[in-house]
Chains A and B, each alone.
Chain A
Amino acid sequence: MRTAHELTVENDGIADTLTLTRGVSRAEVIREICVHLEPYQTGEKPIAGDTVIAKDLTIDSLAIMDMVMELEDRFDVSIPMSVVAEIHTVDQLADTIRDLRAQS
Chain B
Amino acid sequence: MGLFDRHAGLLDAYRDVRTTGYDPFQIRMERVLSPTKAIINGRETLLVGTNNYFGLTFDRSCMDAAIEAIEAEGTGTTGSRIANGSYTEHVALEREIAEFYGKKHCMVFTTGYQANLGVISTLAGPDDFLLIDADSHASIYDACKMTQAEVVRFKHNDPSSLEARLRRLGDKPGNRVVVLEGIYSMLGDRAPLGDFVNVCKKYGAYVLIDEAHSLGALGDHGRGLCEVAGVIDDCHFIVGTFSKTLGAIGGYCVSDDPDFDILRVTVRAYMFTASLPPSIVASVRQALRVVKARPELRTQLWDNVATLYDGLKAQGFTLGPEHGPVVGVHLPDRMTAIGFWRAMLDAGIYVNVAVPPATPNGVSLLRCSLCAVHTKEQLDHMVEVMTGIGRQFGVLPDKQLRAAGAR
Q: Name which of A4-12, A23-31, A45-53, A61-69 contacts chain B.
A: A61-69
- Are A81 and B153 in contact, CB atoms less than 8 angstroms apart? yes
Given known A63-B362, A66-B134, contact A81–B144 (CB-CB < 8 A): yes
In the assembled complex, the Cα of A80 lies from the Cα of B145 at a distance in Å of 12
Q: Could you say which residues of chain B place their CB within 8 Å of the CB of A61?
A: 357
Among A63, A69, A77, which residue has its beta carbon within 8 angstroms of that of B155?
A69
- Are B154 and A82 in contact, CB atoms less than 8 angstroms apart? no
Q: Could you say which residues of chain B place their CB within 8 Å of the CB of A78?
A: 152, 165, 168-169
B164 at the interface (CB under 8 A from A): yes
Instruction: Kindly report which residue of chain A lies nearest to residue B165, judged by CB atoms.
Output: A78
Q: Which A47-97 residues have C-beta < 8 A from chain B?
A: 60-63, 65-66, 69, 72-73, 76-82
A-B contact pairs, 30 of them (CB 8 A): A1-B167, A60-B356, A60-B357, A60-B362, A62-B356, A62-B362, A63-B362, A65-B134, A65-B153, A66-B361, A69-B134, A69-B153, A69-B154, A69-B155, A69-B161, A72-B164, A73-B164, A76-B168, A77-B168, A78-B168, A78-B169, A79-B152, A80-B150, A80-B151, A80-B152, A81-B151, A81-B152, A82-B151, A104-B168, A104-B170
Least Cβ–Cβ distance between A77 and chain B, in angstroms: 7
Q: Which B164-189 residues have C-beta < 8 A from chain A?
A: 164-165, 167-170
For the residues of B in contact with A, the DSSP-based class is: mixed
Q: Which B117-138 residues have C-beta < 8 A from chain A?
A: 134
Least Cβ–Cβ distance between B163 and chain A, in angstroms: 11
In the assembled complex, the Cα of A79 lies from the Cα of B356 at a distance in Å of 24
Render A1-22 as a binary contact track against B, CB cut-off 8 A, 1 for contact. Answer: 1000000000000000000000
In the assembled complex, the Cα of A1 lies from the Cα of B164 at a distance in Å of 10
Q: Which B353-386 residues have C-beta < 8 A from chain A?
A: 356-357, 360-362
Least Cβ–Cβ distance between B195 and chain A, in angstroms: 18
Least Cβ–Cβ distance between A40 and chain B, in angstroms: 11
Q: How many residues of B contact A (CB 8 A)?
A: 20
Q: Could you say which residues of chain A place their CB within 8 Å of the CB of B164?
A: 72-73, 76
Q: Could you say which residues of chain B place their CB within 8 Å of the CB of A65?
A: 134, 153
A-B pairs with beta carbons under 8 A, tally:
42
Instruction: Kindly report which residue of chain B lies nearest to residue A61, judged by CB atoms.
Output: B357
Q: Could you say which residues of chain A place their CB within 8 Å of the CB of B362?
A: 60, 62-63
Most chain B C-beta atoms within 10 Å of own C-beta, residue among A61, A65, A72, A78: A78
Q: Could you say which residues of chain B place their CB within 8 Å of the CB of A1?
A: 167
Least Cβ–Cβ distance between A57 and chain B, in angstroms: 13
In the assembled complex, the Cα of A65 lies from the Cα of B144 at a distance in Å of 14
Apart from A60-B356, A69-B161, 20 more pairs, CB < 8 Å: A60-B357, A61-B357, A62-B357, A62-B360, A66-B361, A69-B134, A69-B155, A72-B165, A76-B164, A76-B168, A77-B168, A78-B165, A78-B169, A79-B152, A80-B150, A80-B152, A81-B153, A82-B151, A104-B168, A104-B170
In the assembled complex, the Cα of A23 lies from the Cα of B152 at a distance in Å of 22
- Are A82 and B150 in contact, CB atoms less than 8 angstroms apart? yes
In the assembled complex, the Cα of A72 lies from the Cα of B161 at a distance in Å of 10
Instruction: Kindly report which residue of chain A lies nearest to residue B141, judged by CB atoms.
Output: A81
In the assembled complex, the Cα of A78 lies from the Cα of B150 at a distance in Å of 10
Least Cβ–Cβ distance between A2 and chain B, in angstroms: 12
Instruction: Kindly report which residue of chain A lies nearest to residue B132, judged by CB atoms.
Output: A81
In the assembled complex, the Cα of A78 lies from the Cα of B130 at a distance in Å of 12
Ranked nearest first, the 8 interchain pairs of A and B with the lowest CB-CB distance are A80-B150, A81-B151, A78-B152, A78-B168, A78-B165, A62-B357, A60-B357, A80-B151
Q: Could you say which residues of chain B place their CB within 8 Å of the CB of A76?
A: 164, 168
Q: Could you say which residues of chain B place their CB within 8 Å of the CB of A104?
A: 168, 170
Q: Could you say which residues of chain B place their CB within 8 Å of the CB of A81?
A: 144, 151-153
Least Cβ–Cβ distance between B152 and chain A, in angstroms: 5
Q: Could you say which residues of chain B place their CB within 8 Å of the CB of A82?
A: 150-151
- Are A73 and B153 in contact, CB atoms less than 8 angstroms apart? no
